[in-house]
Amino acid sequence: MSQPRFSGITVIGTGRASAPSDQVLLTLRVEVLRPDAGEAFTVASETTSNVLAVLSDNGIDARSVRTAELSLGPRTDFRDGREILLGYVAAQRLQARVETLGQLPRLLTDVVHRGGNGIRIENVQLQAADPVAARRRARDAAFADATAIAEQYAALAGRSLGQLRNLDETMGAPGQPQPMLAAKAMTAAADMPIATGDEQVEVKVLAHWDFAEAAE
């Protein structure tokens, strides 16, 4: 069976644009190991209450905080072929959206100093609150890149571009942000410095043009 013949050029264009990182998704984890399950749960609850108070004192709205995980169970280990009970672990993971980056260094310091037993900072994910404008610029750049590539190949083949037949965003979700940390740091006295920088949004397009005319 003969394969269908296509007349034209198909290329992939890539475009990127930056958006400022102006908010943070902060993930905190409370994990307490105690011989008794009830004691572990009580201490973890107290630590969680402390953390919620710290978040509130730093201006984080309660609607911006949620529990992502809550668990209580035994922790064991194997020694000399036997399973040994080490105790019981009570854990809770909290996620908080911080919309003012300037408050982040002091917030992290307060969490560490006032959080209590078993608290740790699990992740600080810098994000752009509104990457829409950057995504549009990335699309402009992706289409311009695809057009330039197609025009170059057409010229090399001694042809010219005709009608644009197909245009698709491809290779995953359009405008997927890729964190890019710059060498700019927010600092405050006695606080942990946080590098902010920009988020880079990338868009790829698959484009197909017909040739304008047949080769002579």
- CB-CB contact of 28 with 64 (8 Å): no
Residue 74 phi/psi, 5° resolution? Answer: -75, 150
Per-residue pLDDT of the chain (216 residues; tens, 9 = 90+): 554 456 799 999 999 988 877 788 999 999 999 999 999 999 999 999 999 999 999 999 999 999 999 999 999 999 988 999 999 999 999 999 998 877 888 899 999 999 888 999 999 888 777 778 888 999 999 999 999 999 999 999 999 999 999 999 975 443 443 333 332 333 333 455 666 667 778 899 999 999 987 544
pLDDT at 127 (0 to 100)? 79
User: What is the rounded radius of gyration, in angstroms, for the C-alpha atoms of the chain?
Assistant: 27
CATH superfamily of 23-127: Protein of unknown function (DUF541), domain 2 (3.30.70.2970)
Tell me how crowded residue 107 is: count the other CB atoms within 10 A of its CB.
24
Q: Does domain 9-20+130-211 have CATH number 3.30.110.170?
A: yes
Q: How far is CA 83 from the centre of its chain?
A: 39
Neighbour-count burial of 67, counting CB atoms closer than 10 A to its CB (0-12 exposed, 13-18 middle, 19+ buried): exposed
- CA atoms of 31 and 215, how far apart (whole Å): 71
Q: Which of 82, 6, 88, 83 is nearest to 43 (CA)?
A: 88
pLDDT at 5 (0 to 100)? 54
Q: Which residues of 134-170 are buried (b: 16+ CB within 10 A; e: fewer)?
A: bbebbbebbbebbbebbeeebeeeebebeeeeeeeee
Judge whether 9-20+130-211 and 23-127 match in fold: no
- CB-CB contact of 90 with 32 (8 Å): yes
Report domain extents, the chain. Answer: 9-20+130-211, 23-127
